[in-house]
Amino acid sequence: MHKCIRCYVSGRVQGVFFRAATREKAVAWHLSGWARNLPDGRVEVLACGEAGAVDRLQDWLQIGPPHAQVVAVDCSEVALQALADFSTG
């Protein structure tokens, strides 16, 4: 079973390689989607793929890379999207 989620990650998540680390995890777990910085300081993540892998990424977003300080993660399931890879933008 496949699914897609969109998450908004708050805290100290910009300037700490959050997007690159998210991409690394997503690629390792064969997910597609993207991670991008938002003007308000949050990171937005769209992740699509096998449901278990998407769930693992969602759990990882609660912690993030070593220098991040995640305060909140707000995720919701969204319609499946056919994306070729995982990008940062």
What are the b/e assignments for 33-59, b being 16+ CB within 10 Å? Answer: bbbebeeeebbebbbbbeeebbebbee
Single out the catalytic residue among 12, 37, 42, 56: 37
Instruction: Kindly list the domain boundaries of the chain, sorted by start residue.
Output: 2-83
DSSP run (H or E) holding 22: helix 18-28
Q: Is 19 a catalytic site residue? A: yes
For the cut 90, the answer to whether the pLDDT of residue 26 exceeds it is yes
Provide the whole-model pTM.
0.95
Q: Indicate the residue type of 7.
A: C
Q: Is 56 a catalytic site residue? A: no
pLDDT of residue 89: 75
Single out the catalytic residue among 12, 19, 23, 36: 19
Q: Given pLDDT bands bounded at 50, 70 and 90, which one contains residue 49?
A: very high
59 φ/ψ angles, rounded to the nearest 5 degrees: -65, -40
- CATH, domain range 2-83: 3.30.70.100
